[in-house]
Amino acid sequence: MADARYDLRIEDIAYLRHGDHALLARLYQPRGAGPFPAIVEVHGGAWVNSDRLNNEGSMSLDFRMPPEAGYPASAQDINFGIRWLKAHAAEYGTTPAQVGGFGTSSGGHQILLAALRPHDARYAALPGPVGVDASLAFVISAWGVIDPPGRYALAQARGNQAMLDNHHKFWGDVAAMEEGSPPHILARGEKVSLPPALIFQGTADEWVPTATAEGLADAWRRAGGAADLALYEGERHTFMREHPTSPNSRAALQRVQEFIHRHGR
């Protein structure tokens, strides 16, 4: 179908099947001459909630979540989704070299994980398109829960049992959280991919201390990658969804657009 507001083609596509279960991707494709930068969007929801309709405007994936499956099943589906879009890039007005990633909250964590580990044998375990890999041209983490064990510790300190339960369902234990934490990955000196990264959040984010975001951006740079960090004064977790027309939300959106155009050409 089309969206007259933005002259978009909007379509749900079955990009992956697990047995009889089809995983869908919501495609938003601008009309007109391309090629355009393309984004695989990974939704948030504390790793266990929501779906591809959580955000609007990019190729957004459904992926396996608890109780169906925990980590690393979603990482496998995301890796496959990136490869799928790159393999079909010409059909959707883009090129493999212009495919980047975007994620919010727990999706902001998962897209960073996908960017760092496109060739990880566990993540790339699903057979699929040949001739492409899951490397990204750029990656954007919006209020990403970039350090799962750090958020787990905050939930413990606050007695937030619902959040602790979500961690247990997805990760199983703290060791898995540390294994899948981008700051820990970089601190361990793992061999990783480092596409240009934009990391942004509010300074009052209740789940990700500003120092954690600053530390990840610094570690990304020290490892040899380019990382932009944008902090929005007084804003909380999910601020752009809660107040989409506020000055900070508009500034963040402009920053995202500029970043995509700079690195998705």
Is the predicted pLDDT of residue 6 greater than 80, yes or no?
A: no
What angle, 0 to 180 degrees and rounded to 10, lies between the N-to-C axes of helices 148-158 and 161-171?
150
pLDDT in tens, 178-229: 999 999 999 999 999 999 999 999 999 999 999 999 999 999 999 999 999 9
Q: What does the pLDDT read at residue 1? A: 41
Q: Which is higher by pLDDT, 160 or 34?
A: 160
Q: Say which range, 29-43, 49-63, 119-133, has the weakest mean pLDDT.
A: 49-63
How confident is the model at residue 3, as a pLDDT? 42
Average pLDDT over residues 122-133: 94
pLDDT digits (tens, 9 = 90+) for 92-102: 999 999 999 99
Domains of the chain, start order: 2-263 (3.40.50.1820)
Q: Is the pLDDT of residue 41 over 90?
A: yes
Half-sphere exposure of 169 (CA within 13 A, CB side): 18
Q: What is the residue whose two structure tokens read 């994620």?
A: 103
Question: According to the model, what pLDDT value does residue 70 have?
Answer: 95
Angle, alpha carbons 65-68-72 (nearest 5°): 55
Q: What is the pLDDT of residue 2?
A: 41
Overall average pLDDT of the 14-34 stretch? 88
Residue 101's pLDDT is: 97
pLDDT band at 127 (very low <50, low <70, confident <90, very high): very high
Q: Above 80 in pLDDT, residue 64?
A: yes
> Which whole number is the average pLDDT over 135-159?
97
Res. 5 pLDDT band, cuts 50 70 90: very low
Q: In this predicted structure, what is the pLDDT of residue 51?
A: 72
The Cα–Cα gap between 125 and 71 comes to: 13
CA–CA distance, 74 with 60 (Å, rounded to integer): 13
pLDDT of residue 31: 79
Contacts of 166 (CB under 8 A, 6+ apart): 46, 47, 48, 49
Give residue 34's pLDDT: 77
Percent of the chain with pLDDT over 90: 84
